[in-house]
Amino acid sequence: RIWIGYALRAEPQSDFKAYVDLAKELAFDDRYQFQDTSAYWPPGLPLFLAALFKIFGNHEWIPLLSSCILFIASILFVAKLARMLYGDLSCRLSCLLIALWPCAILMSWYATKELLLIPFITASLACYISGRRHNSLIPICIAGFTGAFAALAFPAFLLLPVLFAIDEVLNASPAKPAAKRLAVCILAFGATVGPWTVRNYLVLGKFVPIATNGGSVLYMTNNPNATGQWTRVSLDQFGHDEVTRNRNARHAAISWIMHNPAQFIRISAHRLAYFSSGDDVGAYWAIERGLGRRGIGYDLIRTLSTLYWIVVLSLIFVGVLQHGDSFPNSTRGDVTILLCFLYGVLVD
């Protein structure tokens, strides 16, 4: 990762640049503002990067260090979850798949929220299932903290406790212990996200749990010109301040969905198929956009990345076919993990 990261190093662009700039502002200027927004970008990754900038100083390799730390954490938590549920063989295979994941390796130089989500979501799942199994509140509390930090990076995971509630129902847990576990998890969520929500209220004067980009992103993918792929859309029509712009964009997107249900379903299906059909985003950003290079080597790397993703999806599909009939009676957490995976695919 270090060698490839340095070989493909380039100036950060787009979201990656925003995250690095915000992290530097947090670390060195004690503020959080990018262009004319104060809460548009979710703070999870900038907070993590800011801690590294504070410790090691202002260096261009901080995102690479971040990627390496998150990779090690991913391996540890994936190993814990896989061994706890399925044994050593599954643990080794899962860790190997994570270690050889082409997209994650290619993106090592860049600050990406996806690399942060892997260890924190996995840790949250592992701790909650472990806490439910052993009726212990300490792992449940850790599940709440780690899940909430994932939500600070990707606000859609604020609904993670809903998956834990489904896990309790599927396992027919006694009502009182299950309610206690969910309450502790939600309190840990609130303790982690709450300070940022208070900060947003003090800065913006409005209740904004994490970020003001939800409505904007929703409208970008649900509007009269939407195609199912990423398209640039002007949001100036929705207001000049970020809270108003976010609210109006959300209302416009929901209105369009309600008035065009058939087109919404078609576009959603196209978007899901498009983003699930390959995993060459690492090659695109690191080689084509980062270094400005294309050619046979670039096409080969893109193809290998996509084939790797197809293999992983095939393994999931085969596993579900072989063991799906045991899911309703399983107390391990199979359905919870599968639902978390599907939810992540749908909201990304």
Q: What is the pLDDT of residues 187-228, one digit of tens each?
A: 999 999 999 999 999 999 999 999 998 888 888 888 888 877
In angstroms, the CA 54 to CA 57 distance is 6
Q: What is the pLDDT of residue 329?
A: 55
pLDDT at 326: 60
Q: Are 155 and 209 in contact (CB under 8 A)?
A: yes
Give me the pLDDT at residue 49, please: 97
Provide the pLDDT confidence category of residue 277 given band limits of 50, 70 and 90: low
Instruction: Report pLDDT digits (tens) over 140-192.
Output: 999 999 999 999 999 999 999 999 998 888 887 889 999 999 999 999 999 99
Q: Distance between CA 130 and CA 137 in Å, rounded?
A: 10
Query: Tens digits of per-residue pLDDT, 3-41?
Result: 999 888 888 888 899 999 999 999 999 899 888 889 999
Q: Are 334 and 323 in contact (CB under 8 A)?
A: yes
335 has a pLDDT exceeding 80: no
Residue 325 has pLDDT above 70, yes or no: no
Helix (H) or strand (E) holding 154: none
pLDDT exceeds 70 at position 291:
yes
Confirm if 222 and 212 have CB atoms less than 8 A apart: no
| Of 273 and 209, the one with more pLDDT | 209
Q: What is the spatial distance between Cα 53 and Cα 29, in angstroms, rounded to a whole number?
A: 12
Report, as an integer, the average pLDDT of 96-124. 93
**The pLDDT of residue 327:** 58
| Residue 332 pLDDT greater than 80, yes or no | no
CA distance 267 to 97: 31
pLDDT of residue 67: 95
Q: Which helix (H) or strand (E) covers residue 130, if one does? A: helix 113-134
pLDDT at 160: 92
Which of 85-94, 170-179, 193-202, 270-279 holds the top average pLDDT?
Answer: 193-202
The pTM is what? Answer: 0.90
User: Residue 117's closest CA among 72, 68, 153, 73?
Assistant: 153
The pLDDT value recorded for residue 324 is 63
**What are the two backbone dihedrals, phi and then psi, of residue 37, each rounded to the nearest 5 degrees?**
-120, 150
Is 141 in contact with 189 (CB distance < 8 Å)? Answer: no
pLDDT at 330 over 70: no
Q: How far apart are the C-alpha atoms of 99 and 284, rounded to whole Å?
A: 20
Q: Range with the lowest mean pLDDT among 47-56, 129-138, 260-269? A: 260-269
At 268, is the pLDDT very low, low, confident or very high (cuts 50, 70, 90)?
Answer: confident
Mean pLDDT of 327-336: 64
Mean pLDDT on 124-152: 94
pLDDT confidence band for 45 (50 / 70 / 90): very high
Picking from 188, 220, 198, 159, the residue whose alpha carbon sits closest to that of residue 342 is 159
Beta bridge partners, 34, equal 37
Mean predicted lDDT score pLDDT of the chain: 88
